[in-house]
Amino acid sequence: MKIKIRGVRGSIPTPGSDTAYYGGNTSCVEVSEQEYRLVLDAGSGMRLSNVDGGPGNHRVDILLTHLHLDHIMGLGFFQPLFDPSMEVHIWGPASTTHSLHSRLSRYLSPPLFPVLIRNLPCKLFLHEVNNTRFEIGPFKIESAYVIHPGPTVGYRITGKHSTFTYIPDHEPALGRDGMVDDPNWVSGYTLAEGADLLLHDSQYSSGEYPSKQGWGHSSMEDTLRFAGLAGVKHLLLAHHDPVHTDVQLNGMFESLKSTHRCNFEYELAVEGKEFDLA
């Protein structure tokens, strides 16, 4: 399984020289195995995605964790949606009262976007997910609700030889005393358990987190704890706060490394970086 990071920024794109190293595009990751390709989230990084389809180069599957703007703003600029020969499958959560189609239409319609979802030239298929298991080609996929404002899922993607877990927006430590030690009471645990690679929200430092509690994101320290509890092998800290420059992120990470020794590898997610989990 190959993973390519297309966007690591949280909330809003942050172009500019101050963020050029880690990247300014919002959430998007490509996952490929054999001739099958998945695109996880449709943030502004999706514009850079050169996905040219899966089997026979005529199918692509987009897995949305939730429909906050930073996770869907790239959809309207994803070329396969405008290609009549393409079959595009979008997987994502509905809400209690609105279908996935209805929720996506809020963005893919005027005045926010000039093209109506029904007028997209591709062959479009929408699939609603919740606590679901499904398969796409060689991928066995599990989706489950996680703690974040509004209907939000994380994905556990198992290929032939490895497992990648993707939870870019997540606040498992929400509560009076933070994360509970019992794994059965930790949001997202079953998605992340034993994963070869986990990409997880780590928007804040532990100093910043108290004033942002309940916003749906994690501190780097809580993410390390979550990853340790889940027994992952490799952690990517992602969804970087838009106010954090490369210099600040480097400083935060150095501070983290000096105080946290873990029995797994961890690093800050960088736009453009690739991982081969074979």
Site residues for another protein per CB under 8 A? 95-96, 130-131, 144-147, 151, 174-177, 180, 183-187, 189-190
Residue whose CB is less far from another protein, 175 or 251: 175
Please state, in angstroms and rounded to a whole number, the distance separating the CA atoms of residues 6 and 26. 8
Compute the least distance from the CB of residue 187 to another protein, in Å: 6
How many Å apart are CA 67 and CA 78, to the nearest integer? Answer: 16
Q: How far is the CB of 176 from another protein (least distance, A)?
A: 5
User: What distances in angstroms separate CA 93 from CA 44, 78, 168, 206, 232, one per listed residue?
Assistant: 20, 20, 15, 30, 25
Q: Which is nearer to another protein, 192 or 238 (CB)?
A: 192
Q: How far is the CB of 184 from another protein (least distance, A)?
A: 5
Task: Give me the least distance between CB of 97 and another protein, in Å please.
Answer: 10
Can you tell me the distance from the alpha carbon of 104 to that of 154, in angstroms, rounded to the nearest whole number? 18
Q: How far is the CB of 177 from another protein (least distance, A)?
A: 7
Minimum distance, C-beta of residue 52 to another protein, in the bound complex (Å): 35
CB neighbours of 230 closer than 8 A, spacing ≥ 6? 183, 188, 189, 192, 193, 194, 195, 198
Q: At what angle do helices 220-230 and 246-259 cross, to 10 degrees?
A: 50
Q: Which is nearer to another protein, 91 or 266 (CB)?
A: 91
Round to whole Å and give the CA distance between 222 and 231: 14
The residue (of 147 and 249) whose beta carbon lies closer to another protein is 147
Instruction: Compare residues 201 and 246 and give the one whose CB is closer to another protein.
Output: 201
Q: Indicate the residue among 180 and 270 with the shorter CB distance to another protein.
A: 180
Q: Which is nearer to another protein, 51 or 174 (CB)?
A: 174
Core vs surface per residue 98-133: b (16+ CB within 10 A) or e: eebeebbbebbeeeebeeebeebebebebebbeeee
Half-sphere exposure of 3 (CA within 13 A, CB side): 27
Minimum separation from the CB atom of position 202 to another protein (A) = 20
Distance CA 18, CA 247 (A): 8
